[in-house]
Amino acid sequence: MNEPLEPTRSVSTRDQVEILLGDLVHSDGTPSDALGRAQVSGLRTVLCLLAADEHPLTSGERLAHLRKARTHARTTTFLTAYLLNDATLPGSPDQ
Please state the pTM of the whole predicted model: 0.81
DSSP sequence for 19-84: HHHHHHHTTT-S-SSHHHHHHHHHHHHHHHHHHHT-SS--HHHHHHHHHHHHHHHHHHHHHHHHHH
pLDDT in tens, 60-79: 999 999 999 999 999 999 99
pLDDT in tens, 10-35: 889 999 999 999 999 986 778 889 99
> Do the Cβ atoms of 29 and 53 come closer than 8 Å?
no
